[in-house]
Amino acid sequence: MTDHGPTGATVFIGQKPTMTYVFQVVSQLNSGAGPVVVKARGNAIGKAVDVVEVVRRRFLEGQVSLGTIVIDTERLVNREGREANVSSIAIPLSRTGPAPGGSAAISSPPPPSESSRH
């Protein structure tokens, strides 16, 4: 799920496959909408970290910077009516590399050199 705020977008991590969230984050960063905050609670925290690392290291390598990561505890009422502590994380990402659609966004392979033609 993605929420658009006045200063950017928020991607909430849940039970969908990791790559679903990776593509959401990459598309939000490529749209130029500002910083994207990846948020998760409880067991989804590990998946949120995975999403951010895949975006940083495989899709937008050297083009994304991390903001200040916020770790918190939220008190929620569970199904039995009791209060429970649930950990949460918010990881802000900003695009620092070349703008999408520019010459660096899609790179073609270099032309074959004279020595490789023989």
Write phi, then psi, for 5 (nearest 5 degrees).
Answer: -105, 180
Mean pLDDT of the chain: 84
pTM: 0.76
Model confidence over 41-97: pLDDT tens digits? 999 999 999 999 999 999 999 999 999 999 999 999 989 999 999 999 999 999 997
Domain of residue 90, CATH code: 3.30.110.20
The b-or-e profile of 11-26 (16+ CB within 10 A means b, else e) is: bbbeeeeeeebbebbb
pLDDT value of residue 108: 38
104 domain residue, yes or no: no
36 domain residue, yes or no: yes
pLDDT value of residue 103: 40
110 domain residue, yes or no: no
Write out the DSSP string of 13-67: --SS-HHHHHHHHHHHHHTT---EEEEEEGGGHHHHHHHHHHIIIIISTTSEEE-
pLDDT band (50, 70, 90) for residue 8: confident
pLDDT value of residue 70: 97
Domain of residue 11: give its range.
Answer: 2-97
pLDDT value of residue 78: 87
